[in-house]
Chain A
């Protein structure tokens, strides 16, 4: 029975805390984890297997924990799948078990275990095939799995921080601490990240002696020196979850684990380190025997840590089973703490004599060449049956011993995850039975991650590693590194057999989190999945959220046994980030809600707000969609504004319109290579509309090109394409045509732009002092004039996107609000109406003007939108020209932009599909833009229709989900086809 010892441990017994476990109040001490507190209260079952719902207890004391996954909190602060072993107790914490019903103690889901032959590995491919897997999937998924995610918005704050350092050290165990101190002394900037909430955990045992003093004194000394240095940042409760190219590492800092109310719950560190030193340690592996998953069976190192760190004994009578020396040390620590340890079972032929003698002196019986065969007990461990192993692996004879806890050790697997992520190669170490980094590559590894076993080896290796890091950093060598003198028992690295060959025994669990057994691996082998990557996917071993920290190595050894090859030949699977799960909150950081993406405001934003604009977020800009009056719907407001523009005059804030200045001796030649129509011959003061294509001949943007001078142009782009097109021009200038002397400068927000449109537009502008002749003769359509408008520098365009007489007034952005107010004030006499972007889109639809990105997609070429002849006429080369002659771009049945009219508006919506007469299946196109036209009094649409331009007058069927209607194919523009109004 688990219980708290009367003395010892690194808990603060003066601080008594309490938390709730499934509603039951549990008392603990400051320094306890949820797992240690549950063990101290003898709560054996803390979780249920994911698939078979078998009862599971605490297995480990660290991040590798596969069983004790719990749900913390409730409601918006709920956190599922927290490892109880890594969760410090804090007062009032609410902890619940998960994946069990009605309770973790009695779980109906255990039926899956009792019917386990129905659910072997890959069962969904075999058992539930009729009528289809999907018939069963929802139920099975509900019964399986981990804790449910929170359903309420998370109120906690998360943030991301960038940091740089000379050396990132991952792991603040003996190796990490020694390396950090040496690096800081050498003047390097260091970030030291430790996933535990305190450093030097491996040294928190009374038997550890360094420099003839308790090791904890050495730890305190190092931490004190680090704290006094400005060159080091020590981050506890911080997991380095990913190591990427160029020394970039992702760290997750859990500020919520320390207790108390924090401004930030978790912090995501993006660290750019010139070097990384991995002191990530090693993870103990289970032994394989029947029912090795019973509560009460733990990793030997965990049993040791619970005694030393938390003063918690895993049981009253603890047996150890091992294939290496580490369990001997654990047994000694337990005896020293007053716990009964009757037996230690070792699968090897021999153990170091001094070590074995010390253990025997403590009254512990050692049985060599033996291994557990089966654990006894239903809901918790009652005893263990073990047997002697022959040299061929077969077991003979059996002996039983009663115990309530078993500490097992199947060897240690170095935590090479980060090293492997950084594409470091691995080598199989036959002696240690694990994969290790082969040498001094990058990143540098130190300590147990390289396979060291003793503290002495670990410190020496850390000294070697940090010297290497200093040398690579350019620190003059030799650099002295203080290595403490270690007083400990000599142990060996030799690892013995992991399991014995005992046919007919009960299931041996490989992956505790995904409920994978040795038999499952054999099944995969029998089904022909013989490669380790295939075995992994077939059985899902190592694919749960713990990434197989306690199963990968064992799975490989079993696979090697099946293949009859050495493990080195079998190889290992690939480790991928994250090392431990990372919350979405931490990855999102503060980039949520209003901070999800930059929100850009118009120069006259306040003026639009004062007019009660109905806002649209378009291309990152907050734009007025329209300006509804009292009791007016958006639809009514748009119709009113559109009618007002057609009848009188309206003003529209077009400031987001992309504007790019192109200057230089070769500016004309440069731009001519982008547009499908010629701009090189454009005269000063003239404006030309054109399309831009990509290399594939696809339309990527449209806009105007205006010539201000021989070597000075201003082009406009779609609002959403402003930065993209500027980058496009710059890329071609820099990479393809560096010989051209041309300069590209985006000036979108340098200018505030207000469009003035309608039959009375000129009358309104005439109210302002411009010095520019506004009549058609002096200022015809598609021209530009520079001058002053109301006293400030201005560029006036005579262009129209509404089909009406139109001007665009550009003034420096600081005058944008004043310009807007002045136009409203002066326009009062003309009943000027402000109109928004939705009204603009309606007006342009009535004129059939193209909206790139809405009416076009990633396949649209100029001919599809009626610009084929223009492109064909241009003799000079331009981007995409060659692609226009591809046979596919010349097909007559391509999707082509056409107009549609209908009597039934309900089905004429963007995205509705079209079918030609006689077509029963598939789609012959779709509606790209649609609206009810106030000017025409009927629904109109633009659509991409297969061979559309040859189908004028035909009727097509329109399909929108379950609705169906008919529409007639018509030419565009719908309104003022002669274009008289815009030339007015």
Chain B
């Protein structure tokens, strides 16, 4: 029975793959990733610069991200998201335990709660401006920027991966709705 259920791993109710909305705008659902929410207590943050997780330091500036895989996003004064396509969430939690040592912190696996949408193309910011009040110009939201914000009424984490590529991490339950929303919004953009 275990094999039977395990074999049925799936992203139920998610739109599969991506959509080319126009030559200048692509939308895709990213494959499942490990996502861990890391909270570090205020009293331990003074030494946060010394923390190494999987050998790499955490970004210390709020609303900045660093790393390739895993990616570390600082989304609050005491909150980081650790995102990885290669590592399992359990491995990330273990890496946090080793990296944070005796510091007061908590790492929680939220991989199944989050789905990542990728929006790419010269008109990506045009599309995103339909749902998000942040200033997404290069000067204000550069290629190392991320933010926990609201998009189309939903709480999301927005990350600028490159000049023309953004990732939206959204609650799994609302991803279908948001996917449809973005496709509809794109009508006016393209």
* Chain A residues within 8 Å of B, Cβ to Cβ: 157, 159-164, 189, 263-264, 267, 270, 272, 590-591, 594-595, 597-607, 621, 656, 661, 663-665, 723, 738, 741, 743, 745, 747-751, 767-769, 788, 790-792, 812-819, 821-822, 826
Contact = CB atoms under 8 A, between A and B. Distances in A.
B157 to A, nearest CB: 14
A394 to B, nearest CB: 60
A826 B2 CA distance: 13
A157 B188 contact: yes
Interface size class on chain B is 35 or more
B2 A790 contact: yes
A595 B184 contact: yes
Interface string B122-161: 0000000110111101001000000000001111000000
A159 B185 contact: yes
Given A663-B108, A741-B41, A600 B171 contact: yes
A750 B43 CA distance: 29
A883 B43 CA distance: 34
Contact of B185 (A590, A601, A723, A816): A590
B127 to A, nearest CB: 10
B24 interface: no
Given A595-B181, A606-B13, A813 B172 contact: yes
Contacts of A163: 129
A812 B11 CA distance: 11
A621 B176 CA distance: 12
A817 B8 contact: yes
A189 B41 CA distance: 40
B9 A815 contact: yes
23 contacts: A157-B187, A161-B130, A162-B132, A272-B133, A272-B135, A590-B181, A598-B153, A601-B13, A663-B108, A665-B104, A741-B41, A743-B41, A745-B108, A750-B112, A790-B4, A790-B5, A791-B1, A817-B12, A818-B9, A819-B5, A822-B4, A822-B5, A826-B1
Contact of B3 (A591, A748, A791): A791
Contacts of A723: 155
Given A601-B173, A814-B32, A162 B129 contact: yes
Contact of B10 (A751, A767, A818): A818
B179 to A, nearest CB: 11
A600 B174 contact: yes
A593 to B, nearest CB: 10
Contact of B106 (A591, A598, A663, A769): A663
B39 interface: yes
B42 interface: yes
Contacts of B178: 598
A604 B181 CA distance: 21
A818 B112 CA distance: 14
B170 to A, nearest CB: 9
Contacts of A270: 133
Interface string B164-190: 000000011110111011001101100
B113 A749 contact: yes
B37 interface: yes
A189 B130 CA distance: 19
A603 B13 contact: yes
Nearest to A825: B4
Contacts of B184: 590, 595
Nearest to A822: B5
Contacts of A263: 187-188
A336 B135 CA distance: 51
- Among B13, B173, B177, B180, the one with the most A-chain Cβ atoms within 10 Å of its Cβ is B173
- Among A595, A597, A813, the one with the most B-chain Cβ atoms within 10 Å of its Cβ is A813
A903 B98 CA distance: 67
